[in-house]
């Protein structure tokens, strides 16, 4: 069964600190992996999209990694800001079938002063 | 084009009433998705269109739910005889490669 597991479920960090969110998937055949940021009450906004051949991709203070062999991805946030408080959702695209997207449940990040 | 548009953004209704949500995808996006999201959870797949064809429906989509995309452009999601358990955020997304989400339609059933 195609699944995406995210950890931790929630995380509280101090402003200015770094953190890393994890995404493990059992999706086959794999097409790509996306990280989204979702503010409370808003729609998800794309942070990065990574294909099979990409190991690292950065978007400002966000850096995503992908290990296609172990089927793991991480999202590293550097020098966190209060505005980083949100849910971060990992989404894996299946390269076949009619339900191409598999969502994780997200990690709820709270950045406090 | 300013992205995926959803309407209404908020809807409060009494149990038993029907509600309809509309999604206008980004122009020329051939794929359109509907998801339901409750507080603290990730989006749950409801249904998926490629152009006007509805290719997949989740078992979450009971007989009270129906979705259409008549001309392969905008889509509607109708919920008949709403129940309190239908209260959620209904998200629409469209893609032609990259996936973009709308801001969602929040439904509250009293």
By the 10 Å C-beta count (0-12 exposed, 13-18 middle, 19+ buried), B18 is classed as exposed
pLDDT (0 to 100) of residue A52: 84
| pLDDT tens for each residue of chain B, 110 residues long | 579 999 999 999 999 999 999 999 999 899 999 999 998 888 888 999 999 999 888 887 889 999 999 988 999 999 999 999 999 999 999 988 788 999 999 999 99
pLDDT score, position A98 = 58
**Mutate which of A9, A57, A100 to disrupt the B interface (most B C-beta within 10 Å)?**
A100
Structure token digits, residue B43: 């989006």
Q: Hey, how many other C-beta atoms are within 10 angstroms of the C-beta on A24?
A: 17
C-alpha distances in Å from residue A42, one per residue of A33, A87, B90: 21, 10, 11
Mean pLDDT within A45-55: 91
The better pLDDT of the pair B104, A96 is held by B104
| Spatial CA neighbour of B3 closest among A43, A49, A91 | A43
- Asked if B33 has any chain A CB less than 8 Å from its own CB, the reply is yes
More confident call, B110 vs A100: B110
* Whole-number pLDDT of residue B38: 92
Tell me the residues of chain B between 59 and 78 that have a Cβ less than 8 Å away from chain A.
Answer: none
Average pLDDT value for residue range A55-65: 95
Q: Is A11 on the interface with B (CB under 8 A)?
A: no
Q: What pLDDT was estimated at residue B58?
A: 86
Mutation to test the A interface, candidates B43, B46, B53, B87, most A Cβ within 10 Å: B43
3-state secondary structure of B86: helix
Rg (CA), chain A: 14
- Closest CA relative to residue B23, chosen from B80, B85, B93, B108: B93
Q: Across all residues in chain A, what is the average pLDDT?
A: 92
Looking at per-residue confidence, does A24 or B44 come out higher? A24
pLDDT for A96 equals 67
């Amino acid at each position: 069964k195609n699944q995406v597991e995210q950890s931790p479920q929630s995380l509280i960090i101090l402003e200015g600190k770094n953190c890393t969110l994890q995404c493990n998937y059992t999706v086959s055949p794999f097409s790509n992996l996306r990280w989204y940021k979702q503010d409370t009450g808003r729609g998800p906004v794309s942070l990065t999209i990574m294909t099979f051949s990409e190991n690292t991709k950065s978007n400002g203070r966000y850096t995503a990694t992908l290990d296609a062999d172990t089927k793991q991805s991480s999202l590293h946030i550097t020098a966190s800001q209060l505005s980083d408080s949100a849910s971060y959702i990992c989404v894996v695209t299946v390269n076949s079938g009619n339900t191409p997207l598999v969502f994780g449940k997200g990690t709820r990040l709270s950045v406090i002063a | 084009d300013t992205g995926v548009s959803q309407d209404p953004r908020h809807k409060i209704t009494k149990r038993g009433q029907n509600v309809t949500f509309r999604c206008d995808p980004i122009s020329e996006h051939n794929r359109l998705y509907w998801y339901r999201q409750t507080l603290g959870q990730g989006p749950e797949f409801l249904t998926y269109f490629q152009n006007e064809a509805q290719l997949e429906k989740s078992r979450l989509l009971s007989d009270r739910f129906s979705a259409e995309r008549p001309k392969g452009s905008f889509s509607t999601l109708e919920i008949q005889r709403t129940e309190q358990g239908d209260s959620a955020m209904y998200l629409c997304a469209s893609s032609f490669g990259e996936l973009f989400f709308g801001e969602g339609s929040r439904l509250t059933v009293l």
